[in-house]
Structure 1
C-alpha cells in the first residue's frame, strides 16, 4: 500500500478544510470508535452526518440510511465498516458525489481505494483521524 493512501498533504487538507463528514456505521453508542472519532471532529467544528439504517439521530444530527439520502454535499465519508464491506461503501460514496473517503485503522480495501482515486476522490486508508489531528494541531 505504501503512502498512496496516506498522503500527508491530503490528510492535512481533509482535516483542515473539510466541513461535512458522513460517518458510515455511526450509532449513539459512545463506546464505539466511530462515535469517539465523530465526536472529536464535531467538537473541532465539523458537521457530522450519521449514516446507519438504525440511527434516527446521533449527536444532535439526523441520521440517514444511505449516503445517497444525505441532502447536503459531503466532503469526507468515514468508512467505519469491516474491510470486506468497505468497497461497497466507497462505491456508494463515489456515486453520492463525496469528495473524499477516510478508512480508519485496520480498514483496508486497496482496489476500492483505487476506484475512488480514479473517480477523483481523495482517499485516506488505515489512518486514525484523532491521531492525525493531534499530529497536526
Structure 2
C-alpha cells in the first residue's frame, strides 16, 4: 500500500499539540532553507532543537546536538533536512528517542524510513514543508 500523508485536519492537530521540534540538518547559515524555516517556526512559538554533528555551540540561540540521542528532553517532532537516501538512520533514531512525529521536509521521501517510523509508533509526514503547513493550517498561531 503506497504511503499517504495524514489529512490536513490531522496535521493541524499535530502542529497544535507540538511544542518541541528537533531539526536534523539545521544549518547555522542564515541563507539556508533549514535555517529560515526553523527561525520562522521558532517565531511562531515552537521550541527548536538543532541537530547537526558539524556545528558546535548554538543555532538560533539553542544548543546544537550532534544526534537526536544526545537531546536530554522529549521531542514532539523530528523535522528532517537531509537527502532522501540519508534518512533511514534518522528514522531509527527518532523511534529510539520516542518522538511523536517523523517529518520529512519538502522534496524528501523515503518509504523505508516511513515504515520504520510507523512501526515504532510515530506519525509520519513526508515531502511537506512544516512552515508552509503551519502557515496554512494555523495562520493565527497555536
Whether the TM-score (by the shorter chain) exceeds 0.5 is yes
For residue 112 of structure 1, give the secondary structure of its aligned residue in structure 2: helix
Contiguous gaps of at least 5 residues in structure 1: none
**Residue 25 of structure 1 pairs with residue 25 of structure 2:** yes
Q: Where does residue 69 of structure 1 map in the other structure?
A: 70
Q: Distance in 1 between matches of 2:98 and 2:19?
A: 15
Q: Where does residue 117 of structure 1 map in the other structure?
A: 118
TM-score (norm. length: structure 1): 0.93
**Residue 133 of structure 1 pairs with residue 130 of structure 2:** no
Q: Distance in 2 between matches of 1:19 and 1:108?
A: 24
Q: Distance in 1 between matches of 2:50 and 2:136?
A: 26
Q: CA deviation at 1:27?
A: 2.1
Deviations 1:74-128 (A, max 9, x none): 0000111000001111111111111111101110001210221121101110001
Q: Where does residue 102 of structure 1 map in the other structure?
A: 103
Q: Distance in 1 between matches of 2:130 and 2:52?
A: 20
Q: Distance in 2 between matches of 1:63 and 1:21?
A: 13
Q: Distance in 2 between matches of 1:42 and 1:2?
A: 33
Q: Where does residue 83 of structure 1 map in the other structure?
A: 84
Q: Distance in 2 between matches of 1:40 and 1:59?
A: 11
Contact 1:51 1:66 in 2 (8 A): yes
Count of aligned positions: 137
Contact 1:10 1:122 in 2 (8 A): no
Once superposed, which parts of structure 1, at least 4 consecutive aligned residues long, lie more than 3 Å away?
none
Contact 1:79 1:90 in 2 (8 A): no
